[in-house]
Amino acid sequence: MTDTTPILILLSTYQGEKYLATQLDSIISQSYTDWTLVIRDDGSRDGTLALIKTYAEIESRIHLLSDNLGNIKPAKSFAALMHYALTRNENYIFFCDQDDVWQPNKLALQVNLLNDMQAQYGNTMPLLIHSDLSVVDQRLQTIHPSFLRFEKISRNTQAPLNTLLINNFVTGCTMGINRALLNIVTPVPDDIIMHDWWCALCASAMGKIAFLNEASVLYRQHSHNSIGSQGFYGKLKELAKLKTNMTAKKKNMGLCFAQAAKLLARMDKHAPHFSLITSFLALEQQSLFSRYLSASKIQLKATNQLRMLAFWFMLAIV
Distance CA 42, CA 46 (A): 11
Q: At what angle do helices 288-297 and 305-317 cross, to 10 degrees?
A: 150
Q: What is the pTM of this model?
A: 0.92
Decide if 12 contacts 44 (C-beta within 8 A).
no
CATH architecture for residues 7-220: Alpha-Beta Complex (3.90)
According to CATH, where is 3.90.550.10 located in the chain?
7-220
Q: Is the bond preceding 187 in cis, omega lying within 30 degrees of 0?
A: yes
Residue 311 has a pLDDT of 92
Per-residue pLDDT of the chain (318 residues; tens, 9 = 90+): 445 799 999 999 999 999 999 999 999 999 999 999 999 999 999 999 999 999 999 999 999 999 999 999 999 999 999 999 999 999 999 999 999 999 999 999 999 999 999 999 999 999 999 999 999 999 999 999 999 999 999 999 999 999 999 999 999 999 999 999 999 999 999 989 999 999 999 999 999 999 999 999 999 997 665 554 555 555 555 555 545 677 887 888 999 999 999 999 999 999 999 999 999 999 999 999 999 999 999 999 999 998 999 899 889 887
Residue 249 has a pLDDT of 78
Residue 1 has a pLDDT of 43
Distance CA 303, CA 163 (A): 7
Residue 222 has a pLDDT of 78
